[in-house]
């Protein structure tokens, strides 16, 4: 009986030990599984962070490319004052960053175009400076994903266009007489030197007309300076209308004008001068409540017949003008010799 009891106790003890061992093993396995899961989660977390970093790197690279493209484009367009060159730069940078079928610049909004159907299938982008429309871009075949870079470059192009046009206007104002819209004396004399040098180089003719409004002081004294300004503007307009596109007209000072006639001999210069004189003589100039008729005296001189140097040609044209005035005004005189007789 005693032996049997001992046997039972031993078996029970063994069973208990086995059970406890099994419990310990299961706990160890569970702990190991948990550790494995934690390692897996940490691994997947690392992979996810790596993907996130790759995406962020890609985004930063794209943003850097946009900024670099914008910088390069801005640097290029600030180096030109030509609208066509600026547009070609815009189109080239757009082609590097996007894919498109066609892109054109329209000088006016498409609604003003006589043939809007020629732009069928195009999309349009207004180039604006504040509220002023400078023009439009007509484009097609641009993927939706490239719209953002297109808009960025287009806005920058609009700013460049505004700057170019502002510079052109300032340049025009600097060389244009505000009242008559003819060349200022300084710019006119620069052009005169260029044309004279070209005539010397090519051994061709160049003629110079010196023009003066007859009795202009009397007009100012009788009708006032505002009326005198109207007469100066209309006289300048008539001079411009009666010369060629290659001819150059300027305001020499006060009521004096001058015209450079490239590739024009003495006979041609006299014919042009007479055409100008007749046009002004026949015009009825309305200045406020008055309708006035004015006349011109014109002197002409020609290289190489009358002079060999620019100052000499100008002086002889001025002398011919003096002769025209002495002979009674409202006439044309060509230089012959330094004397008052015809």
- What local confidence, expressed as pLDDT, does residue 174 receive? 80
Residue 62 belongs to some domain of the structure:
no
Q: Quick one: 115 and 159 in the same domain?
A: yes
Q: Quick one: 123 and 202 in the same domain?
A: no
Give the count of domains, the chain: 2
Q: Quick one: 218 and 329 in the same domain?
A: yes
Where a domain ends, among 174, 196, 231?
A: 174
Residue 231 belongs to some domain of the structure:
yes
Q: Quick one: 165 and 192 in the same domain?
A: no
If we measure between CA atoms, which residue out of 232, 235, 230 comes closest to residue 288? 230
Q: Quick one: 155 and 190 in the same domain?
A: no
**Residue 141 burial (CB count, 10 A):** 13
- What local confidence, expressed as pLDDT, does residue 98 receive? 83
Residue 222 belongs to some domain of the structure:
yes
pLDDT digit string, tens, across residues 34-48: 777 777 777 777 777
Q: Quick one: 242 and 326 in the same domain?
A: yes
Q: Quick one: 311 and 205 in the same domain?
A: yes
Q: Quick one: 216 and 149 in the same domain?
A: no
- What local confidence, expressed as pLDDT, does residue 286 receive? 92
Residue 17 belongs to some domain of the structure:
no
Domain with residue 306: its CATH number is 3.30.70.270
Where a domain ends, among 123, 145, 174?
A: 174
Which stretches in the chain have pLDDT values below 50?
Answer: 114, 342
Q: Quick one: 140 and 274 in the same domain?
A: no
Q: Rounded distance, CA 230 to CA 248, Å?
A: 21
Where a domain ends, among 142, 174, 206?
A: 174
88-96 long-range contacts, CB within 8 A, separation 24+: 90/153, 90/154, 90/156, 90/157, 90/160, 93/69, 93/153, 94/149, 94/150, 94/153, 96/69
Residue 66 belongs to some domain of the structure:
no
Q: Which domain holds residue 92?
A: 83-174
Angle (nearest 5°) at CA 89 between 87 and 93: 120
Q: Quick one: 230 and 150 in the same domain?
A: no
**Is 234 considered catalytic here?**
no
Radius of gyration of the chain (CA): 43
Unique residue bearing structure tokens 């175009």: 113
Could you check whether the bond before residue 81 is cis, i.e. omega within 30 degrees of 0?
A: no
Q: Quick one: 122 and 196 in the same domain?
A: no
pLDDT digit string, tens, across residues 102-148: 898 887 655 555 455 677 788 888 888 777 888 888 898 888 888 88
Residue 3 belongs to some domain of the structure:
no
The one catalytic residue in 234, 245, 255, 282 is 255
CA distances from 70 to 131, 150, 260 (A): 23, 11, 46
User: 47-75: buried (b, 16+ CB within 10 Å) or exposed (e) per residue?
Assistant: eeeeeeeeeeeeeeeeeeeeeebbeebbe
- What local confidence, expressed as pLDDT, does residue 65 receive? 66
Q: Quick one: 246 and 275 in the same domain?
A: yes
Residue 330 belongs to some domain of the structure:
yes
- What local confidence, expressed as pLDDT, does residue 2 receive? 65
Token digits for 321?
């003008």
Taking each helix axis from N to C end, the angle separating 2-77 and 83-97, rounded to the nearest 10 degrees, works out to 160
Residue 260 belongs to some domain of the structure:
yes
pTM for the full predicted model: 0.65
């Amino acid at each position: 009986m005693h032996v049997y009891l001992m046997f039972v106790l031993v078996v029970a003890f063994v069973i208990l030990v086995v059970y406890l061992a099994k419990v310990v093993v299961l706990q160890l396995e569970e702990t190991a599984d948990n550790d494995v899961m934690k390692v897996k989660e940490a691994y997947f977390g690392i992979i996810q962070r790596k993907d996130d970093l790759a995406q962020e790197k890609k985004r930063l690279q794209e943003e850097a490319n946009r900024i670099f493209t914008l910088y390069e484009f801005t640097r290029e367009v600030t180096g030109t004052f030509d609208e066509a060159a600026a547009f070609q730069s815009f189109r080239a940078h757009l082609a590097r960053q996007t894919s498109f079928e066609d892109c054109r610049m329209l000088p006016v909004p498409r609604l003003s175009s006589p043939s809007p159907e020629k732009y069928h299938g195009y999309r349009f982008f207004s180039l604006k400076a504040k509220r002023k429309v400078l023009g439009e871009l007509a484009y097609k075949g641009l993927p939706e994903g490239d719209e953002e870079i297109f808009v960025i470059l287009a806005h920058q192009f609009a700013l460049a266009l505004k700057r170019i046009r502002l510079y052109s206007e300032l340049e025009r104002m600097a060389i244009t007489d505000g009242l008559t819209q003819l060349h200022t004396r300084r710019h006119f004399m620069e052009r005169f030197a260029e044309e004279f040098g070209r005539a010397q180089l090519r051994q061709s003719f160049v003629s110079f007309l010196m023009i003066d409004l007859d009795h202009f002081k009397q007009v100012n004294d009788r009708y006032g300076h505002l009326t005198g300004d109207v007469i100066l503007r209309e006289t300048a307009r008539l001079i411009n209308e009666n010369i060629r596109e290659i001819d150059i007209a300027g305001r020499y000072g006060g009521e004096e004008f001058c015209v450079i006639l490239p590739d024009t001999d003495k006979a041609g210069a006299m014919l042009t001068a007479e055409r100008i004189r007749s046009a002004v003589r026949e015009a009825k100039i309305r200045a406020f409540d008055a309708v006035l008729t004015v006349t011109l005296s014109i002197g002409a001189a020609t290289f190489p017949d009358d002079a060999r140097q620019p100052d000499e040609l100008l002086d002889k044209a001025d002398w011919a003008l003096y002769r025209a005035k002495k002979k009674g005004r409202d006439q044309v005189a060509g230089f012959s010799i330094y004397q008052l007789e015809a």
